[in-house]
């Protein structure tokens, strides 16, 4: 029972930060494209790279949750 709570907290809290971060990254990218539409290709590159780094944190949380569950 305690193991299931630990897994739920690990994945729940571990994805909360990246979810908020991806939203803020998207907002900042849309603001930047709105101010300077000519730089949209360069902004898109940084947007995708930043989202990938934020998503990696969620994947680490998933790995930790799986380790707690099965080890």
pLDDT mean over 43-59:
96
Residue range of the domain that includes 58:
2-70
Number of domains in the chain: 1
SS3 of 1, please? coil
- In 3D, which of 58, 27, 29 has the Cα closest to residue 44? 29
Q: What is the CATH number of the domain that holds 54?
A: 1.20.20.10
Supply the pTM of this predicted model. Answer: 0.85
pLDDT in tens, 16-47: 999 999 999 999 999 999 999 999 999 999 99
């Amino acid at each position: 029972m305690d193991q299931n709570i630990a897994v739920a907290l690990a994945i729940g809290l571990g994805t909360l930060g990246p979810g908020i971060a991806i939203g803020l990254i998207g907002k900042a990218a849309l603001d930047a494209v709105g101010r300077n539409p000519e730089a949209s290709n360069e902004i898109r590159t940084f947007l995708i790279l930043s989202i990938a780094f934020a998503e990696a944190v969620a994947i680490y949380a998933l790995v930790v949750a799986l380790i707690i569950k099965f080890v």
